[in-house]
Amino acid sequence: MSQPIIEARDLGIRFVRNRRRQLRLREMIIHRGGRQPRGDEFWPLRHVTYDLYPGEAIGVIGRNGTGKSTMLRLIAGVLIPDEGSIKVRGAVAPLLELSAGFSNDLTGRENVHLVGSLHGLTPNELKHKFDEIIAFAGDQVEKAIDTPVRHYSSGMKVRLGFSIISQLAHPILLVDEVLAVGDAEFRKKCYATMERLLAEGRTLVLVSHNESDLTRFCKRGLYLDGGLLKVDGTVTEALGAYNAAARR
């Protein structure tokens, strides 16, 4: 097989609960770092090792708060690991949040330009693809393209966000549970787009609780529990482990 496109090695990130409290001036002066409040630390993700090869579609499964989104953020590079390493060979097109990073004060058009270019589209590409992006997002968005995004429904934002991401030529696609928001018609469009992107040989990392979405796109599944990678196998195996844990 070729070189992995994503290489995670003993990946871990540490968060501190109640950091606010810990940083009180009084405590900073009195303890002076001499006593580390170890009890407040937790690892949303730790000892995670996997390789992802170009063209693979992988589903990340787990209950809420088990590190799925944290893992996507580490791949996207918007979090920096405390332990281990993650190597990503290629640009990443992330759809991590419902809002897709839109600024509420700007119109849809301005947001497409801002977010698009932050994702690495050149002004020229943006000009060429703008109509396509808007058309994909649907009539509702097209009509509201010159109104501020704060007046958009969450469905409209997701539509616009997804249609920007789908125009990126980046080899890695990260999608975090956003498909659940769109209506049936938009989901159908999304499915078609994702299938097209996969057929082009893109790599997909999908976080979802929807079994049919997962089995539809992904062959491989990662099952996370308590920040640890419990199952790295086929998507059926991962879902099996997830369902078994849910029944307990």
Partner 1 sequence: MTSSVVAVWSHRNALRLLVRRDLAVKYQQSVLGYLWSLIEPLAMGLIYWFVFGVLYDTGHHLGEASDSYPLFLITGIFAWMWTNAAISEATNALTGQARLITTMKVPREVFPLGRVIGRFAEYLAGLPILVLLAIIFGEFQLRWSMLALPLAILIQGALLIGIALLLSSLNVLLRDVERFMRLLTRVLFYATPIIYPLALVRDSSMPGWVKTLYDVNPLVGIFQLHHAVWYPAELDLRLTVISAVGSVLTLFFGWWVFRSLEPAVLKEL
In 89-240 the beta strands, taken as DSSP E runs, fall at: 92-95, 172-176, 203-207, 220-225, 228-234
Q: Is 2 exposed, middle or buried (0-12, 13-18, 19+ CB in 10 A)?
A: exposed
Contact 207, 58 (CB under 8 A): no
Please list every residue from 22 through 41 that binds partner 1, using CB under 8 A.
23
- The contact pattern for partner 1, residues 44-63, with x = CB under 8 A and - = no contact, is --------------------
- Tell me if 13 contacts partner 1 by CB under 8 A: yes
Q: Is 115 in the site for partner 1 (CB under 8 A)?
A: yes
CA distances from 150 to 44, 106, 154 (A): 32, 8, 10
- Out of 122, 147, 153, 154, which residue is the one contacting partner 1 (CB under 8 A)? 122
Local structure of 92: helix, strand or coil: strand
What is the smallest separation between the CB atom of 185 and partner 1, expressed in angstroms? Answer: 25
**154 belongs to the binding site for partner 1 (CB under 8 A):** no
Q: Residue 6: left (phi > 0), alpha (psi -120 to 50), or beta? A: beta
Find the angle CA(170)-CA(187)-CA(154) to the nearest 5 degrees. Answer: 85
Which of 31, 36, 90, 123 is the binder for partner 1 (CB under 8 A)? 123
Cβ closer to partner 1: 158 or 238?
Answer: 158
Q: In the complex, what is the shortest distance from the CB of residue 76 to partner 1, in angstroms, rounded to a whole number?
A: 6
Is 169 near partner 1 (CB under 8 A)?
no
Q: For residue 165, which of 154, 179, 153 has the smallest C-alpha distance? A: 179
Residue 113 is a binding residue for partner 1 (CB under 8 A): yes
Binders of partner 1: how many residues, by CB under 8 A? 31
45 vs 235, which CB is nearer to partner 1? 45
> What distance in Å separates the CA atoms of residue 182 and residue 140, rounded to the nearest whole number?
13
Determine if 243 is a binding residue for partner 1 (CB under 8 A). Answer: no
Q: φ and ψ at 131, to 5 degrees?
A: -60, -40
Letter for the amino acid at 207?
V
What residues numbered 186-215 form the site for partner 1, per CB under 8 A? Answer: none
Select from 58-66, 117-125, 130-138, 232-240 the region that touches partner 1 (CB under 8 A).
117-125
CB of 170 to partner 1, least distance (A): 10
188/215 Cα distance (integer angstroms):
16
Provide the mask over 67-106, with x wherever binding to partner 1 is found by CB under 8 A and - wherever it is not. Answer: ------x--xxxxx-x---------x-x-xx-xxxxx-xx
CB-count exposure of residue 246 (10 Å: 0-12, 13-18, 19+): exposed
Residues that bind partner 1 (CB under 8 A): 13, 15, 19, 23, 73, 76-80, 82, 92, 94, 96-97, 99-103, 105-106, 110, 113-115, 117-119, 122-123
